Amino acid sequence: MESESHNSAKKPFHQAAREYDNTPKLFRRLLPFKDGIAELRQKRASFATIAELLTDEGIAVSRKTVTRFCRKFLAPESRARREKRPPESIRPLQRAVRAATASENQTVSAQLEERRARVIGPWSPRKRGPRIADAKNL
C-alpha cells in the first residue's frame, strides 16, 4: 500500500522523460535574458560587458559562459544573416564567368605544356649517366 501512495506522488516516468531538460543550470538562468543579450550583441557589446551587466542583475556568470550561451542559442540566427546568397539574376553570370575562366586556364596550361616540350628544364626527365656540368656555366 505504501509503495502505491509513494508512486502516485511522483510524476509518471514517461511524463518525466518528456519534460527532461539537459540544458545546463546557468544557461536556464540566462534564457529569460536571451533577447537582451542578443540586442547587446547586435550593438557589438563584448561578452565581458554582458557578463558584467548580468552580474549587476544578480546573475554571476563569466564572459566564457556568456560566449558559450551566445554560440549555442544566438549563433544560428546571426550566421544565417551573414551568409547572403546572390540574387537569382546574378547566378547565371557567375556560372558564365567561371566557365570562361576554366577555358582560359585550359588554354594556358596547353600553351605551357607545349613550351615545356620544346625547352629543356627541371621539368624534363634527366638522361641516364653521370651528371656533367656545362663548361660555359662554370
Predicted TM-score (pTM) above 0.85: no
- What is the pLDDT, as a whole number, of residue 14? 81
Low-confidence ranges of the chain (pLDDT < 50): 1, 5, 78
- The span from the CA of 137 to the CA of 48, in Å, is 66
- Cell for 104? 582560359
pLDDT of residue 1: 47
List the grid coordinates of 23.
540544458
Q: Tell me what pLDDT residue 5 has.
A: 47
pLDDT confidence of residue 136: 82
